[in-house]
Structure 1
C-alpha cells in the first residue's frame, strides 16, 4: 500500500471523526432545544467535543542508534519532498526526542528545548505550555532544502564538563569505560532536550503526529517519554537492524520501554526489521535472500515473544530512493507496502474503535437517558389520548370521579416530593463524603511528605523504599473510597426504586459512580513506577535528578488521575438525580394538564373533541422530537438497546 493510500485512509478517519463531532454537537443542541440540558451534562458534552477536536493519531518510532529509524520515517511520510527531510546520514542521528505535527495556530516552526532544562523541576508538558522557553526556528515550507538545513539542528551536540554531564544524567561511568573512555575532561552531549516541529504536510494536517525517539540512553534519562508519551501513542514502531538482529541493548529497550507501554495485549505495536538490503547475497540469490530474512524474523519473534506477523522486513533506504525516483520495482523490493498497510488499516481502525468506546463511555448514559425519557413521554401522552377517546364524558358522575382521582394523585405526588427532597439531602451528605475522599489536600499531603522523605534519604535504597511507600499510600487512599462509593451507590438505587414502585416511572437505571477505572490506571502507573524504581538506570542516576523525574512524570500522572476522580465524583453527584427530576417534572405536568382538561370538559361537554384534538397536537411534536433524537443517535453510531423499543 502506497503512501497515497495511507493518506486516504487517514483522510477517511479524519472525516469520520468530523461527522462524529457534528453529531454530538447536534445532540447538545437537541438537549438545549427541548429542555433536557443541565450544567453537568453540558460540561460532559463539551469535554468530549474538545477531546475529539484535539485528537491526533500518534505514531511513535523507537530504536537504538543506527537502526535507520529516521530514514524509515522519511520513506513512510516525507518522500514526496524529494529530499532526505529529517537528518539520517550514517553517523548523524537524531539526538533529541522529536514530535512532528501541524499546529495551525502557530504555523511552521521548529521549537528546541535546551538540554540544561533537565536541571529544572519542570515537566515537559509544562514547558510545552510556555513557548518562550524554547528556541524557535521558522520553516519555509516552499523550500524543502531550507527545511532540510533547519532540521540539521536536531543532531547538534556540544561539549560540557563531566560533572555537568553527570548532573544532566548523560554520563555513565561503566558505559564509558566499556568504550575505553576514562575520566574525560569534557563529554559530548546533545544541545537540545526535546524538539517540536510543525509544518503543513498533508498527513500532519489530517491529524497525524510522529514521535521520533533517540536511543536507549535518552529513554532511560527522560522518564516522561516512557511513562507518558509512549503509552499515549496509538502505535509504537520498534526498529531493529536486519544484519544484527536483536542486540542486548535492543532487548533492554524492548523490555524496559516498549512492552511496558503496550500492556499485555501488545496492541498498536509493530517491529520493523530494517536494512534487509544488507543481507543480499549475490551467490545465494533471491531464494537465499528470502530464506535469510525469514530466519531472522523467526529468531527475532522468539526473542521478543511476538507474533511473526507483527515483524515487517523493510529497506527504508531503498523505499525512500524508490519513492523519490518513482521506481515501482525498487519500491516493491523494499517491502514497505506491508508496513504501510498495517499502519493504514489496523492502527487507524484500532484508533476509531477506541474513540467510539470513549464516546459511549462518556455520553452513552446521557443518550440512553434521553431516549428512555422520550419513549416515556410518547407512551404517557398516547395512553392519555386513548383514555380520553374511550371515556363516556356524558356521564357527569364519571367525570367527577376522574377529577377526584386526579386530585388525589396530585396530593400524593406533592407529599412524596417532600420525601424526595429529604432523600436528596441525605444523598448530598453522602456524596460530599465521597467527593472529599479524593480531596486535593489529602493527595498533596502524601505527595509532599514522601518527597521530603526521599530527599532526606542518605542511600539509593532508602530513596527507593520511600518511593514504594508513596505508591502504597496513594493506593490506600483510593481504597478508602471503596466503602463510601458502595454506600452512595446503594442510596441512589433506593431513591430510584422508590419512584419506580410508587409512580410506575420508566425504569432508568441510575448511572453509578465507580472507582475501578481510576484504580486500574493507578495500578498501571505503580507498575511503571516499580520498573523505574528497580531499573539500573535509576540506581546509577544522581538522586535529586531521579526524584525530580519521578515527580514530574509518574506523580503528576497519579495526581491527575486522583483529581479526575474528584472531579468526576462531583459531576456525578450533581447529575445522577437529573433523569429522575425530568420524570418528576413530566409527571407533574401530566397531572396538571389532565386536571385542566377534565375541568373544561366538566364545564362544557363541547370541549371533549377540543381536548382530544389538543392531546393529538401535543403528541405529534413529541414523536418528532424522538425521531430527531433517533437520527442523531444513528449518526453518533452509539448502541442503545432502547432504540429497538422506540
Structure 2
C-alpha cells in the first residue's frame, strides 16, 4: 500500500486548511475582544459574544453522513475512504455483516479509543440520544487497542452487526413491530427462523459511538454511518437531529439495482427537503459491470447511462452523481494499485467531498463571524466618532471663550451648571422609567415566548397526537402546533413594536434636548426570527405526510417524532427569548453608557469653564489636553480598524502579512 495515500487525501488536506483558517480567525477574534475590552465602549455582553464565538469556532467539527438502504456498501466506502491505512477492513462490511444501528465515528477523546453501544431497550425511555450521550451508565463500553491483531479488532467491531430475538410484544413496545390492529392476519403469528414462534429479530443496539486515533478524525471529521430505511423511519431523532445537522450527506445507491422504491423513499422523505445541505449521490459497486469479455467503452457508456438515469429519477444534476466501487477502492489502497484505484472512482469522490464539505462549512462560519464583527466594529467606531465630535465642539467652545472677555465666563459657568442640574433631573426621571420599560418587556415581549407555555402546549399536543391514527390527523396537529407557535411570535412581534416605540420615545426626548447620539441597538427586530420559524414549519409539515410509516408501526414512534420536533421548536423559542433578553440588557447598558458619557463630558466642560474663570491662562493648557485626547481617540480608531481589517482578511483566507 502507498504510505502517502492518506497524507495526500484531499479530504485531510482540506480539513487541515480549514483548521488553519479557523485558528487564524479565532486569534483575530480574541484580538478584537481584547481591544473591545480595553476601549470600554460596549457592554460586557458583546465581549462575551466574541469570546463565545471564538470558542465555538475553535471546537467546531465537520459531520459527514452516509445514507442509503441496507447492503448498498456504505460501510465499505467508509473503509476505503478513511481506513485503508489499516491494511484490512476496519469496519465489518462482508457478506451477512450489515451494520444494524447508526454509528458515529469520531477522533479518540484524550487519546482513549473505544466503542460505546447503546442498548435497544433505551427506546422505551422518553430520553433523546443526545441526552443519553451524557449518561455514561446507559452505554456498554468495549476497549479498542490499535496494537491488537486485526482479527481481534474485527471481532470487537462485529458488535455493530448484532441482532437479538425478542417477543412480538416486546418489539411492539420498542416501536419496532406493527401494533396488533395494524398487522395483517396472516402475520399475527410471526415465526423467526432462528428464534421460533411469536418472536422477531431486532437490532441489539440502538446507537454506537466509535472513537479512533486517526489523522482525519483527529483533524475534526465525524462520520455517521446509517442503517437502511426501516431504522431511519423508526428513529425520528436520527432524521431530525443527526441527518439534518450533518454538514454534508453521501446518498449511496447500488449501480446493480439503480434507484429502487425504498431508495426513492429515503431520498424524498429524508434528504430532498433539506435543500441547503450539500449532498452527493454515489452509484456504488460499478465493479459488478466490469467484464473482460465486454468492450471497456461499452461498460463506460453503460455507467454513464446509469448516472443520467439516476440524476433524472432523483431530479438533480448529473454532476452530483458519482460512480464508484468501494470494494475495489479498498483493495487498490491496500495493494497500492494506482490503476485500480483510479478505475474505482475513489480519487474523484475524495476530491468532490473536499469541494463539497470544506467550503460549505467555512461559508457558514464566515457568515456568523462577519455579522458580529461588522456590528462590533460599527458600534465602536460610531461611539469613537461621537467622542471625537464632542471634543471638537468643546475645543471650539474653549477657543471662542479665549476670544471673549473674562466678564462673560462667570455667566457661562452659571448656564452650564443650570444645564447640568436639568440633565440630572431628566436622567433621574429616565431612571425611574426603567422599571416601566422592564415591565413592558416582560409583559409584551418575553411573556409570549415563555418556555412554560410551550411546555404545557407540548404536553397537550402530544396527547392529541397520540389520539390521531390517520396521516391527515397527524398533519393537522403538526399544523396546529406550529400555528400556535407562530401566533405567540406574532404577539411578541406586536410587543416588540410597542416596547421599541416606548423606549425610543423616552430616549428621543433626551437625545433631542442634549444632542445624544442615536443607538443602533434600537429597535429590536424579531421579524427575521419569525421568518425562520415559518421556514421550520414548512420543512416539518411534510414530515407529518410521511409519518404513515410511523402510524403503521407504533404510537411510541409518533410520540418520539413529535417530541423531537417539539423540542426543536422549544429550543428555538428559548433561543429567541434569550436573544430578546440579551437585547434588553445590551440596550439598557448602552443607554446608561451614553448618559454617563454625556455626564462626564458636561462635568469636564464645567471644570474647564471654572478653571477658565479662575485663570484665563489655563485655556491653552486645556486646548493642548483636548488635542492629546483627540490624538488618542484617532489611535484607538485606527487600532480598531486595523484589527477589524485583519479579521476580515482572515475570514476571506487572505494573508495577514
Separation in structure 2 between the aligned mates of residue 469 and residue 604 of structure 1, nearest angstrom: 76
Q: Is the 8 A contact 1:268 1:347 kept in 2?
A: yes
436-445 or 573-582, larger mean C-alpha shift: 573-582
Separation in structure 2 between the aligned mates of residue 144 and residue 33 of structure 1, nearest angstrom: 57
- SS of the equivalent of 1:244 reads coil
* Deviation of 1:248 (Å): 0.7
* Deviation of 1:515 (Å): 3.2
Tell me whether 1:581 sits opposite 2:586 in the alignment.
Answer: no
Tell me whether 1:221 sits opposite 2:234 in the alignment.
Answer: yes
The equivalent position to 2:282 in structure 1, one of 260, 272, 278, is 272
5 Å-filtered alignment, 1:287-302, equals: 287-302=297-312
Tell me whether 1:601 sits opposite 2:612 in the alignment.
Answer: yes
Q: Is the 8 A contact 2:470 2:551 kept in 1?
A: no
The equivalent position to 1:421 in structure 2, one of 420, 428, 431, is 431
* Deviation of 1:481 (Å): 1.9
Separation in structure 2 between the aligned mates of residue 384 and residue 374 of structure 1, nearest angstrom: 15
1:543 corresponds to which residue? 555
The equivalent position to 1:59 in structure 2, one of 41, 46, 64, is 64
Separation in structure 2 between the aligned mates of residue 123 and residue 276 of structure 1, nearest angstrom: 39
289-298 or 110-119, larger mean C-alpha shift: 289-298
2:648 corresponds to which residue? 637
Tell me whether 1:163 sits opposite 2:176 in the alignment.
Answer: no
1:27 corresponds to which residue? 32
176-185 or 406-415, larger mean C-alpha shift: 176-185
Cα separation, partners in 2 of 1:627 and 1:615, compared to 1, 3 Å: same
Cα separation, partners in 2 of 1:546 and 1:511, compared to 1, 3 Å: same
* Deviation of 1:432 (Å): 1.2
Q: Is the 8 A contact 1:58 1:233 kept in 2?
A: yes
Q: Which runs of 5 or more residues in structure 2 are unaligned? A: 192-196, 652-657
Separation in structure 2 between the aligned mates of residue 269 and residue 492 of structure 1, nearest angstrom: 47
Cα separation, partners in 2 of 1:379 and 1:394, compared to 1, 3 Å: closer
Separation in structure 1 between the aligned mates of residue 292 and residue 187 of structure 2, nearest angstrom: 37
5 Å-filtered alignment, 1:235-634, equals: 235-260=248-273, 262-263=274-275, 266-362=276-372, 364-385=374-395, 388=398, 392=402, 395-397=405-407, 399-400=409-410, 403-404=413-414, 406-422=416-432, 424-433=434-443, 434-455=445-466, 465-495=476-506, 497-534=508-545, 535-551=547-563, 553-634=564-645
Cα separation, partners in 2 of 1:333 and 1:224, compared to 1, 3 Å: same
331-340 or 204-213, larger mean C-alpha shift: 331-340
Cα separation, partners in 2 of 1:179 and 1:495, compared to 1, 3 Å: farther
Per-residue CA distance 1:384-409 (angstroms, 9 max, x = gap): 44664675357324545654554454
Cα separation, partners in 2 of 1:499 and 1:241, compared to 1, 3 Å: farther
The equivalent position to 2:207 in structure 1, one of 194, 198, 211, is 194
Separation in structure 2 between the aligned mates of residue 392 and residue 19 of structure 1, nearest angstrom: 52
- SS of the equivalent of 2:590 reads helix
* Deviation of 1:321 (Å): 2.0
Per-residue CA distance 1:404-450 (angstroms, 9 max, x = gap): 55445434433442453355444322211211111122112211222
Cα separation, partners in 2 of 1:455 and 1:292, compared to 1, 3 Å: closer
Cα separation, partners in 2 of 1:359 and 1:240, compared to 1, 3 Å: same
Count matched residues: 636
Separation in structure 2 between the aligned mates of residue 115 and residue 589 of structure 1, nearest angstrom: 66
Q: Is the 8 A contact 2:474 2:544 kept in 1?
A: no
- SS of the equivalent of 1:189 reads strand
* Deviation of 1:456 (Å): 5.3
Separation in structure 2 between the aligned mates of residue 400 and residue 585 of structure 1, nearest angstrom: 26
Tell me whether 1:80 sits opposite 2:85 in the alignment.
Answer: yes
Q: Is the 8 A contact 2:43 2:590 kept in 1?
A: no
Separation in structure 2 between the aligned mates of residue 458 and residue 492 of structure 1, nearest angstrom: 50
* Deviation of 1:575 (Å): 1.2
TM-score (norm 1): 0.90
5 Å-filtered alignment, 1:12-51, equals: 12-51=17-56
306-315 or 586-595, larger mean C-alpha shift: 586-595
* Deviation of 1:268 (Å): 0.9
* Deviation of 1:207 (Å): 1.4
Tell me whether 1:148 sits opposite 2:154 in the alignment.
Answer: yes
Q: Is the 8 A contact 2:64 2:223 kept in 1?
A: yes
Separation in structure 2 between the aligned mates of residue 162 and residue 353 of structure 1, nearest angstrom: 49
Cα separation, partners in 2 of 1:550 and 1:422, compared to 1, 3 Å: same
Per-residue CA distance 1:494-550 (angstroms, 9 max, x = gap): 345445543444444225433344434434543454333332212212224421342
Separation in structure 2 between the aligned mates of residue 405 and residue 346 of structure 1, nearest angstrom: 68
Q: Is the 8 A contact 2:521 2:583 kept in 1?
A: no
Separation in structure 2 between the aligned mates of residue 619 and residue 597 of structure 1, nearest angstrom: 16
Cα separation, partners in 2 of 1:389 and 1:459, compared to 1, 3 Å: closer
Cα separation, partners in 2 of 1:179 and 1:53, compared to 1, 3 Å: farther
Q: Is the 8 A contact 1:496 1:510 kept in 2?
A: no
Separation in structure 2 between the aligned mates of residue 397 and residue 430 of structure 1, nearest angstrom: 51
Q: Is the 8 A contact 1:443 1:559 kept in 2?
A: yes
- SS of the equivalent of 2:272 reads helix
- SS of the equivalent of 1:392 reads helix
Q: Is the 8 A contact 1:393 1:608 kept in 2?
A: no
* Deviation of 1:585 (Å): 2.1
Q: Is the 8 A contact 1:170 1:221 kept in 2?
A: yes
Cα separation, partners in 2 of 1:294 and 1:415, compared to 1, 3 Å: same
Q: Is the 8 A contact 1:112 1:134 kept in 2?
A: yes
1:644 corresponds to which residue? none
Cα separation, partners in 2 of 1:454 and 1:615, compared to 1, 3 Å: same
Separation in structure 2 between the aligned mates of residue 136 and residue 479 of structure 1, nearest angstrom: 48
Q: Which runs of 5 or more residues in structure 1 are unaligned? A: 641-646
* Deviation of 1:305 (Å): 0.7
Per-residue CA distance 1:219-245 (angstroms, 9 max, x = gap): 000000111111111111111111221
Q: Is the 8 A contact 1:492 1:510 kept in 2?
A: no
- SS of the equivalent of 1:576 reads helix
* Deviation of 1:639 (Å): 12
* Deviation of 1:567 (Å): 1.5
Separation in structure 1 between the aligned mates of residue 334 and residue 184 of structure 2, nearest angstrom: 43
1:233 corresponds to which residue? 246
- SS of the equivalent of 2:112 reads coil
